[in-house]
Amino acid sequence: MTVRVGILGATGAVGQRFIQLLDGHPTFEIGALTASKASAGKTYKEAAKWRVSTPIPEDVAEIVVGRTDPADVPDDIDLLFSSLPSGVAAEVEPQFLEEGFVISSNSSNDRMAEDVPLTIPEINGDHLGLIEVQRDNRGWDGALIKNPNCSTITMVPTLAALDEFGLDRVHVTTLQAVSGAGYSGVTSMEIIDNAIPHIGGEEPKMETESRKLLGSFDGAELSMHGAEVNASCNRIPTLDGHLESVFVDLADDVTPEDARNAMENYPGIDLPSAPEQLIHVFGEDQPDRPQPRLDRDRENGMQISAGGITETPQGLKYNCLAHNTVRGAAGASVLNGELLVEEGWI
Ligand SMILES: NC(=O)C1=CN([C@@H]2O[C@H](COP(=O)(O)OP(=O)(O)OC[C@H]3O[C@@H](n4cnc5c(N)ncnc54)[C@H](OP(=O)(O)O)[C@@H]3O)[C@@H](O)[C@H]2O)C=CC1
Ligand SMILES: N[C@@H](CC(=O)OP(=O)(O)O)C(=O)O
């Protein structure tokens, strides 16, 4: 089966990752690329300032970039990936949805909307049922699904694994790579020899998106998970890979060995871009792992790493890490697209 896909915002940092990850994909074939008016009408290789470490795929280089307008996207496109600035996405995604397009979006607008599935396929694929609610509410034939913020997706799989022990409270401190801010997000003068203890809007995203992801869907409504989540977000001068220190209060007494087993045995999913094992856990013999440079590319950048699991009076503390522009952005949207196909929504 071949599914024709388009990318909205294809020339940007995340758009380029989409193109890299879709090169040679077993199901998805790129049929449309869009960007701003400044890029429309140019070939992709002229429009995109290519910054990914593999070359532009030859068949993509010559595609003419269209405007981000439903009229510029052919009807034979079955699925759109969206990596537009969230303000732009909030305006144009509904126009595509009204025209019947299905969108797997990485942009942050509408992630917390009650009728929009926010999904990590291994964790809460059943939330896709919200698409029916969404179609009833909004009267469109299309469907909008979102993947979470990159810092949220780094931590949530580990929390999902620990939830069987009664997840009461989470405190997390992040050390986030500069690529999360986009190519021009922080200047070299700001970040070299420095750390910035604030990332606008990031903490509330971690605190709310994680509870939605861990929540339950009864076929009609979604309930948020009851745990309290507190986040402190920091930018550091790594290129890719968000590292996070997590403290969890658990209802049950849990040893680090119990936690390690729960994380390592948390079930994966059989989709083309999914890692064989969702969470890799470093043992006591490697207390200095995971590290961004050494561990972000595990399983093509799609695996979550954890380590340093230690008991605390209230529960446990540990570190976790994921590749923010792969597992945290384009790879997450591609995996959601694969789930939409697998579950028959496309
Ligand atoms: N960078 C990252 O690691 C992460 C980013 N995200 C989110 O993904 C989204 C994209 O981020 P990123 O790729 O870094 O952003 P970029 O600024 O690098 O790319 C933005 C893309 O959107 C297009 N665009 C901008 N304005 C318009 C417009 N008015 N109409 C149509 N297209 C437009 C740009 O086209 P053109 O080239 O023509 O200007 C470009 O293709 C954002 O919502 C961001 O928050 C999420 C997780 C991680
Ligand atoms: N804010 C994230 C990247 C990002 O764009 O997140 P979101 O997808 O929630 O907009 C970071 O700085 O690392």
> What residues does each domain of the chain span?
3-149+329-342, 150-323
| Annotated active-site residue in 242, 280, 320, 323 | 242
First to last CA, the chain: 11
Residue 46 and residue 35: Cα distance in Å, rounded?
Answer: 12
With both helix axes pointing from N to C terminus, report the angle between 13-22 and 331-342 in degrees, rounded to the nearest 10. Answer: 50
In CATH, which of 3.30.360.10, 1.10.760.10, 3.40.50.300, 3.40.50.720 is domain 150-323?
3.30.360.10
Per-residue pLDDT of the chain (346 residues; tens, 9 = 90+): 899 999 999 999 999 999 999 999 999 999 999 999 999 999 999 999 999 999 999 999 999 999 999 999 999 999 999 999 999 999 999 999 999 999 999 999 999 999 999 999 999 999 999 999 999 999 999 999 999 999 999 999 999 999 999 999 999 999 999 999 988 899 999 999 999 999 999 999 999 999 999 999 999 999 999 999 999 999 999 999 999 999 999 999 999 999 999 999 999 999 999 999 999 999 999 999 999 999 999 999 999 999 999 999 999 999 999 999 999 999 999 999 999 999 999 9
Pocket test for ligand 1, best of 84, 105, 118, 147 (most atoms within 8 A of CB): 84
Pocket test for ligand 2, best of 81, 118, 150, 238 (most atoms within 8 A of CB): 150
How deeply is 226 buried, as exposed, middle or buried, from its count of CB atoms within 10 A (0-12, 13-18, 19+)? exposed
Residue 217 and residue 130: Cα distance in Å, rounded?
Answer: 8
Amino acid identity of residue 161, one-letter, is A
**Which ligand is nearest to the Cα of residue 204, counting in written order?**
2
Ligand 1 pocket, residue 10 CB under 6 Å: yes
Ligand 1 pocket, residue 325 CB under 6 Å: yes
**Which ligand is nearest to the Cα of residue 323, counting in written order?**
1
User: Is 225 part of the annotated catalytic residue set?
Assistant: no
Ligand 1 pocket, residue 95 CB under 6 Å: no
**Which ligand is nearest to the Cα of residue 34, counting in written order?**
1
Provide the whole-model pTM.
Answer: 0.97
3-state secondary structure of 327: helix
Ligand 1 pocket, residue 185 CB under 6 Å: no
In CATH, which of 3.30.300.30, 1.20.1250.20, 1.10.10.10, 3.40.50.720 is domain 3-149+329-342?
3.40.50.720
- Give the C-alpha distances (Å, rounded to integers) separating 176 from 124, 245, 273, 283: 25, 11, 24, 23
- Phi, psi at 275, each rounded to 5°: -70, 155
Cα-based torsion angle of the residue sequence 189, 190, 191, 194 in order, rounded to the nearest 10 degrees:
100
Pocket test for ligand 2, best of 108, 147, 174 (most atoms within 8 A of CB): 108
